[in-house]
Structure 1
């Protein structure tokens, strides 16, 4: 009962700004799954959330950068956002967490400690991604380069999924992160309920194998390995949602050209160690030649089709873990972005209600702090800069909080 009271009170404080925020403590409850629902302390857990991939990178910098981490988590919590997805990797390059296979920069690891501690202080749950499909912050390409430097002959970065040495490098990273003792809280990451879930890889693709079999086998192996170290936390793949050959009729929902990127959304999310499914959507990128109305309609059908699959086939919960609209694409206006976000948020809310929480929430891409212009990708939103967009985000946070009290 005490945990229930603190959880509810923390949510009320964060969403409604009526009282000083009460954070989840590190000895609090883990987010779990019951059927097709997320639960927290035995009660339905629905949320509005965000992506801030840069948290560890900033926390590893000078004090003015580290302050941006505290600021954005405080601002997000104050506006009712309760789940954040961020990177737990930086493979080589600037402020590298892992400078070479198995070699970690303690200062950067302490930066990740700080991110987790600050999230806990503000009552925000984290989804931590363990590697990138793309070259940003190292990713698959860096792992393959490390193996080549060690004398292994590899053809492409798709060997990340196949080569035994590369897979060993990645498994070592999983173990290093999950067993890390936080220098601030003195708690192992695998024991910390501030972490909601692990993500195996951000937006995996394997274009050399359109069937999706290679990626599927990799997920199966890495999911089992991750769970062998940590059975307390939830686990997801990191998929965008592209349907594969296991149910060909579903491929009609894919954006043009994305049925051959080496993923099979249904088959791979059925792996027993995978606890929930994810989708991403960027209609302004995927359907750049189409009208705003067509892009919004695509997003609507994309969500509906994946929720249908989550309920009827996967029988697992679903999170919309990335979506946004970039000012860098032709025709961008704030009004169009607001229409897009309202379409997404209204759909998430209505489908969460009708699915009894199977669709649990959405994580907008992305939230920045003040003074991060050099990191801009056009999608960023700064919560301290008043706008109609921020009002839409806050309204969704209120709505999802209230909805959690009505589902069974």
Structure 2
């Protein structure tokens, strides 16, 4: 997300609820998973175990990092975070499954890939552990395979590895917006960069889980593989026009590769929606031609739909734009006859505070707006299937007074390292926000869709 996107601006009873949200409970045992144990698409709906699958979800990009047994991991914390999320009724997690060691400022270290063909065994085992723990809880994962933005290395790093070492940093005054986005989008035309990306996909999807012994292709905890986090065809209109054919080709080829390796899993693009295509609906539609479902991301502060210095005075006007954005994507999903997930949405704490315990009045109002829109859409039998809030910070806490995460630090919160730690996180002490999530999960069970 940037000047027009986030990436440039700066109990037992609930356990039963979670199982119901995902469909009927799965009997554990050694039997091979049947096709009904995987999430599938039937027109505008997801299906799981013969039932319509709808969900309350969260983003927890650092799940595989916590799952590692190495010094940067914390399996005890991960288990507690998963238990806390399930107790809220959250049954679907969107997780980073690839990162690229990079010279880019504020990018992750360690990373899944040190360079092409050199992969971090500790992080891969961390992903194994996460998937095994999700399976125990009948939770599902959406795993994204690279990033358009800088914080996990991403497409710019694939180019850096293969173009002789050229790159630019996000927010570099010498390269103002939209230069970074235009540079990142050159990935789609780079055969060498794409090959390194495809090699990573072949390695990962061909993997056998070291914890469960399951081949990744047979992991029922995986709902979908996502091509990238927020892949745009460019930032400027000129770059978008130049790149669209290569962009569509990358999507088609990547989707075909994933389906050949993991035919039981869905393929997702990870797209922001209209905001990631400079408002061009035809790009959003064409980009999803070979993709199983539509996604949309919603960032009112980053897109200047609300004024961070006057949330009380600007919230209602921003809320109207949010509702219009939701409605526009429901209409697109209806046109292409595919499910729709609002898989990223976030809002700051009052007074743009970052500290746990500070008020969340307008954050809660925003979550309430999203959840009501989802419930209304489901009640009217639209393609909306669920949402994933950004992001679960849980027990994570910023380590520094400036709320900046230094390279290699492991006090993971929901906000990636290029953003203030706590900006969009839901902490384990945010009781009012958690109450909204829990209530939404309960309400989702009781909705009777119009036929």
Same fold by TM-score greater than 0.5: yes
1:340-371 deviation line (CA, Å, top 9, x unaligned): 11111000110011025x20011000012213
Residue 240 of structure 2 corresponds to: 210
Question: Superposed, which structure 2 residues align to 1:105-254 within 5 Å?
Answer: 105-149=120-164, 156-205=183-232, 206-207=234-235, 209-211=239-241, 212-242=244-274
Take 2:166 and 2:424, find their aligned partners in 1: how far apart are those partners? 40
Contact 1:47/1:401 (<8 A) preserved: no
Runs of at least 5 residues in structure 1 that lack an aligned partner in the other structure: 1-8, 245-253
Take 2:14 and 2:292, find their aligned partners in 1: how far apart are those partners? 24
Contact 1:15/1:398 (<8 A) preserved: no
The alignment status of 1:278 with 2:260, answered yes or no, reads no
Aligned length: 376
Residue 320 of structure 1 corresponds to: 342
Match of 2:95 among 72, 86, 111: 86
Residue 388 of structure 1 corresponds to: 432
Residue 424 of structure 2 corresponds to: 379
Residue 96 of structure 1 corresponds to: 111
**1:123 deviation in Å?**
1.7
What SS class does the counterpart of residue 111 from structure 2 fall into?
Answer: coil
Q: Is the alpha carbon distance of 1:10 and 1:139 closer, same or farther for their aligned partners in structure 2, counting shifts above 3 Å?
A: farther
1:306-341 deviation line (CA, Å, top 9, x unaligned): 111101x11100000000102386599511111111
Runs of at least 5 residues in structure 2 that lack an aligned partner in the other structure: 1-11, 102-107, 168-181, 308-313, 400-412, 414-420
Q: Is the alpha carbon distance of 1:400 and 1:23 closer, same or farther for their aligned partners in structure 2, counting shifts above 3 Å?
A: same
Take 1:157 and 1:117, find their aligned partners in 2: how far apart are those partners? 34
Take 1:192 and 1:200, find their aligned partners in 2: how far apart are those partners? 18
Take 2:87 and 2:450, find their aligned partners in 1: how far apart are those partners? 24
The alignment status of 1:37 with 2:63, answered yes or no, reads no
Residue 48 of structure 1 corresponds to: 56
Q: Is the alpha carbon distance of 1:140 and 1:329 closer, same or farther for their aligned partners in structure 2, counting shifts above 3 Å?
A: farther
Displaced runs of 4 or more, over 6 A: 9-12, 21-24
Match of 1:366 among 363, 370, 391: 391
Contact 2:57/2:389 (<8 A) preserved: yes
Residue 75 of structure 1 corresponds to: 84
**1:22 deviation in Å?**
6.7
Please say which of residues 83-92 and 286-295 is displaced more in the overlay. Answer: 286-295
**1:402 deviation in Å?**
2.7
**1:299 deviation in Å?**
1.0
What SS class does the counterpart of residue 214 from structure 1 fall into?
Answer: helix
What SS class does the counterpart of residue 444 from structure 2 fall into?
Answer: helix
**1:298 deviation in Å?**
1.0
Q: Over aligned residues, Cα RMSD in angstroms? A: 3.0
The alignment status of 1:348 with 2:374, answered yes or no, reads yes
Match of 2:327 among 287, 299, 304: 304
Contact 1:216/1:268 (<8 A) preserved: yes
Contact 2:305/2:321 (<8 A) preserved: no
Residue 13 of structure 1 corresponds to: 16
Q: Is the alpha carbon distance of 1:217 and 1:287 closer, same or farther for their aligned partners in structure 2, counting shifts above 3 Å?
A: same
Question: Superposed, which structure 2 residues align to 1:256-295 within 5 Å?
Answer: 258-259=278-279, 264-269=283-288, 271=289, 273-288=290-305, 290=307, 291-295=314-318
